[in-house]
A and B are shown apart, each in its own frame.
Chain A
């Protein structure tokens, strides 16, 4: 194709003009509506999006079924393991659900600070003030604005063991951190096998079980003040308090003689799935100790184990750092926040923050809630009743899982990666610097 110079200049000019115009077109003018009523499917349908998938999803849907009938509101729940990735994309792309169940307050804070979620309605705020402690209310609050109420809760930091095995060998449940290390050494010398099994593998989230270990130790060793500053990045990962927590964890996880019971060497920590495999190892007795949150109960039941004080497997909380120190526990939970303020959505959000819903869901089994209106008798299994009593006790200091509170770039990014690198033998200072580097720029 032979074009003259003038023609070329012309086409270039035309292209430039077209591009410029299209740029203007894409930036959107005054007439563009951003957000607004995205529901578009009637007044009494409320879409809820969350991480909870089958089998818990059925129980969740059952828990509000009656209420739906009474109030003529159809709650359409959609569960996805890709929630954390999808919710950001959907909210930024303008197709959010009406309500989202955030498993990480940090993710909620990320979205709230970008004005993607709406502040909580008055009814929800009243429920939060009445039925939750200030700690819990704080997890749904970003910059002094309440965005949502907590939903369910879990208590982390349990150490699972076999009571009968302990009784046979005269092993005692330890009362302080050093006691736990001594117990480990004792089990190792009595059996000649590593006592602990640890599994970090969880697909894209590989490494998260390790963050629970570090959080437990930071909270117990350095106290709540340092813990809160750590979450806010006022105490950096490279600080001595955090470094020492990693080192304490390393005393167990980096010791060839102590891990990885039933699986092999230290290198198998990263490759062992976090749920099924340790449960099987505990069940067949090849693993004596395992550190995991209360949901592990479900994996044990699937492995055909009776969980209870007199059952096959029971659990004690990771002990305080010094004997008799204050009982501090870490835990997790969900926050329900809204992207839409239609009447039906507000009603659902209020109902989910009420003790009625909490009792309805907890009585179906498998989960607990930190709602003060919850009747401990609702809980199904011994470990959950134990967890509720811990949550409702006034002497317990509760702190939310730190990695869930941190911005996703760290809490679900470099912190996970750092745990993997640490147990794979990367030098600790390098690991801490890498985790710290993930903090968002703004």
Chain B
């Protein structure tokens, strides 16, 4: 595999593109071919299936230059799979077909997600060189240092503030903009920040907050305003503990547009009969909003809240670009990178595991809610 890649890297760039695309197409064609002929009865097709079952896993590992015993094990597993497939409920070849379709996606998920996750869990309990098992030392180090506690607390502050404020703001926008003329243009304006990359947004906001010494020309918008009103320039990103909130503003600014678009669509889906019935009962606008619209868009609210919560839990680029964690603004993802940079793989992984544990309940809750909604329909 690596020899092949090395050979590709010596080619002319245009030829490289052709080779890579060509190889990709060949692999796809092969998969489709096998999937196509799999369910056909007949000795020849059975033999082809058998060959594919045994050869594919073995070849795959051979490509990755793995151990001989692993290649052999892969071949044996393939053989077992072949016999299982012959007795499958959907007829011979049905399982083969299913796996043929799933394999590329499963492989990518396994290599790109599942394995790194497992490796991280292992690393979190090893020393920085990954040579000896140190038990919970890395976690003890995190929770016994005031600075690291501050990092965890900051992350929790992000999760408490950002989703709530952006959802409320997004809901307000969605509800009121729907009633105005020129709705489409307002929506585009509010949604615009969502289209900017996080790093870009961070640089814009860092400029907004920039402070120059009093008496000099201000280049930061906010401080220029303060100076016009006769105040002293304030270095927003150095003022603890408010600087964390000044960073959270950036995420809110970005996510409000996202919340507004989803919630606006949900509000349009609230049945008019309910609203009319509420009006006949003599509700005022506020009661109608709280008792009819909000329950009506509950599923959308949950999706928005959980999505933004996860985004604020793993926030990295905003903090890294604007303060790099200076003045106690660091969050877990930023600290992960910082530790990894100074060769502290164990501590870095421990932070990653903590982040994983914080994200997990939200993801599970989200999945459960989605399932409930499906059953309700």
Contact = CB atoms under 8 A, between A and B. Distances in A.
Interface of A: 4, 7, 10, 14-15, 17-19, 21-26, 28-33, 40, 84-85, 88-89, 110, 114, 203-204, 206-207, 262-264, 267-268, 270-272, 277, 407-409, 412-414, 417, 420, 424, 430, 434, 437, 440-442
Contacts of B279: none
B129 A24 contact: no
Nearest to B84: A10
B115 A110 contact: no
Q: List 8 A-B pairs, minimum CB-CB distance, nearest first.
A: A31-B65, A204-B324, A408-B342, A409-B342, A271-B235, A29-B67, A29-B66, A25-B64
A268 B235 contact: yes
B127 A441 contact: yes
Nearest to A281: B213
Contact of B326 (A19, A206, A430): A206
B129 A29 contact: no
B306 interface: no
Contacts of B132: 442
B51 interface: no
Interface string B315-336: 0000000001111000000000
Contacts of A263: 213
Contact of B129 (A271, A417, A437, A442): A442
18 contacts: A14-B99, A19-B114, A19-B115, A21-B57, A21-B77, A22-B107, A23-B115, A26-B64, A28-B65, A29-B67, A29-B70, A207-B326, A264-B213, A409-B339, A409-B343, A424-B327, A441-B127, A442-B132
A88 B341 contact: yes
Contact of A440 (B89, B111, B342): B342
Contacts of B344: 409, 440-441
A441 B64 CA distance: 34
B89 A22 contact: no
Contacts of B70: 21, 24-25, 29
A149 B242 CA distance: 46
B127 A442 contact: yes
Most buried by A among B65, B144, B325, B326: B326
Contacts of B327: 206, 270, 420, 424
A412 B138 CA distance: 20
Contact of A25 (B61, B118, B131, B147): B61
B106 interface: yes
Given A89-B341, A114-B129, 11 more contacts: A14-B81, A19-B110, A22-B111, A22-B115, A29-B65, A31-B66, A268-B235, A272-B213, A413-B342, A440-B344, A441-B128
A208 B110 CA distance: 42
Interface string B220-243: 000000000000100100101000
Contacts of B107: 18, 22
A408 B341 contact: yes
Most buried by A among B6, B65, B347: B65
Contacts of A434: 145-147
B271 to A, nearest CB: 31
A206 B89 CA distance: 66
B19 interface: no
A264 B214 contact: yes
Contacts of A442: 127-129, 131-132
Give the interface SS of chain B, mostly helix, strand, loop or mixed: helix
Nearest to B114: A19
Interface residues on B, range: 35 or more
B133 to A, nearest CB: 12
B96 to A, nearest CB: 12
Contacts of B89: 4, 7
Contacts of A17: 77
A21 B74 contact: yes
B280 to A, nearest CB: 44
Contact of A18 (B2, B106, B147): B106
B134 to A, nearest CB: 7
A19 B74 CA distance: 12
B12 to A, nearest CB: 14
B235 A85 contact: no
A114 to B, nearest CB: 7
B66 A25 contact: yes
B346 interface: yes
B218 interface: no
Given A40-B6, A440-B128, A30 B343 contact: no
Contact of A441 (B111, B232, B235, B347): B347
Nearest to A86: B341
Nearest to A26: B115
A420 B330 CA distance: 14
Given A264-B213, A434-B146, A441-B346, A204 B326 contact: yes
B152 interface: no
A21 B211 contact: no
A413 to B, nearest CB: 6
A268 B346 CA distance: 36
A30 B338 contact: no
Contact of B146 (A10, A430, A441): A430
Given A21-B74, A409-B339, A441-B128, A40 B65 contact: no
A408 B99 CA distance: 48
A262 B214 CA distance: 9
B291 interface: no
Contact of A110 (B2, B61, B77, B342): B342
A114 B107 CA distance: 31
A22 B238 contact: no
B343 A32 contact: no
Nearest to A414: B147
Contacts of A114: 129, 343
B141 interface: yes
A24 B67 contact: yes
B73 interface: yes
A413 B240 CA distance: 19
Contacts of B57: 21
Interface in B119-154: 127-129, 131-132, 134, 137-138, 141, 144-147
Nearest to B320: A204
